[in-house]
Amino acid sequence: MKASIRIIQPSSTGGEDLLPERIARLESEGFTILYDQASSPSPWPFTAGSINERTERFLSALLEPESQIILCTRGGYGASDLLPYLPWAKLRSIKHKWIVGFSDISAIHSAFWSMLNWPGIHGPMPGSSLWDLNATEDVDFLIRMLSQSEKSGSIPVSPLSSSNTPPPHGLLYGGCMSVLCNLIGTPFFPKSLRKYYVFLEDTGENPGRLVRYWNQLQQSGVMEGALGVIWGHLKDLDSNLDEEEVKRELASRSSVPAWSSQHFGHLSPNWSMVVGAKARIDPQIGKLSWSTSP
């Protein structure tokens, strides 16, 4: 019997009209779906409820015995609101649950990896217009991964800088760059990314701001000893520069080897990646592979 999935809205509202069809798809794959739509309007238009309401719903999903997976409906704004109010000491004693989402949900992945060593899935969300937009294979892959105890996968990557040293094994960490940069200096961001492959993507940020975020990551010292950075899709750059030009500029400012991929980010298909997985890049075939044991 497949796992039960709790669907929650820890960030923005929206996408509720998309859920019935997508819930039906998940149920047809054998999952039991638990979902309760927020019953009252939010006092803040950017989020799906007040901080207290969203924290209570999230904590309930974490503690309930009925579900093994928490699937976020969409990103937007507000996930980092919840982090200081979660009972982290209590959560250390509960069984790991897979939390799925990307964009603003990167804050949750980072916090749960930093505080509890919980790996999380940076992957498609059913309240997003990107779900099944241009292809279905990324959602198919997510469903297969949620059906298996061991999570593994790979994506093509291409070099943006050269290195004479064969890339070693490391750990995988990343997500939406602007969201992650706003966690630097908090308990919800790793103290160091030494021996990590860092995957980064973003949307709606012009090249100047992307460089500013990258400067912050490097100048804060957290990237010291990192094994490399993989730049995913950079959407809506609001610039005359194309995406590859921006990636090359970021790579030229990088103290670590850099690669490019169009297989994750705010796009469709958006291939799932596991924060906290063991990872390696094979430069001979241009592939990032990752896996995590049960």
> Do 129 and 184 fall into the same domain?
no
CATH number for position 117: 3.40.50.10740
What pLDDT sits at residue 241?
94
> Do 16 and 94 fall into the same domain?
yes
CATH number for position 162: 3.50.30.60
Tokens standing for residue 149: 């105890």
Q: Which domain holds residue 193?
A: 152-292
194: left (phi over 0), alpha (psi -120 to 50) or beta: beta
Q: Amino acid identity of 288?
A: L
Cα(first)–Cα(last) distance of the chain, in Å? Answer: 17
What pLDDT sits at residue 42?
85
Query: Do the Cβ atoms of 274 and 120 come closer than 8 Å?
Result: yes
> Do 117 and 170 fall into the same domain?
no
Domain end point (choices 104, 120, 148): 148
> Do 134 and 161 fall into the same domain?
no
What pLDDT sits at residue 162?
77
In angstroms, how far is CA 266 from the centroid of its own chain?
Answer: 11
> Do 50 and 178 fall into the same domain?
no
Tokens standing for residue 5: 């999935």
Domain end point (choices 114, 148, 182): 148
Number of domains present in the structure of the chain: 2
* Chunked mean pLDDT (size 10), the chain, 294 residues: 92 94 96 86 90 96 97 97 98 97 98 98 97 94 95 96 80 98 98 97 97 98 96 96 96 95 97 97 94 81
Which residues neighbour 144 within 8 Å (Cβ) at sequence distance 6 or greater? none
Does the reported pTM lie above 0.85? yes
What pLDDT sits at residue 40?
72
What pLDDT sits at residue 135?
87
> Do 190 and 272 fall into the same domain?
yes
Q: How many CA atoms lie within 13 A of 21 on its CB side?
A: 8
What pLDDT sits at residue 41?
78
What pLDDT sits at residue 294?
59
Q: Amino acid identity of 70?
A: I
Query: Do the Cβ atoms of 26 and 73 come closer than 8 Å?
Result: no
Query: Do the Cβ atoms of 289 and 154 come closer than 8 Å?
Result: yes
What pLDDT sits at residue 258?
96
> Do 143 and 161 fall into the same domain?
no
What pLDDT sits at residue 127?
96
> Do 75 and 184 fall into the same domain?
no
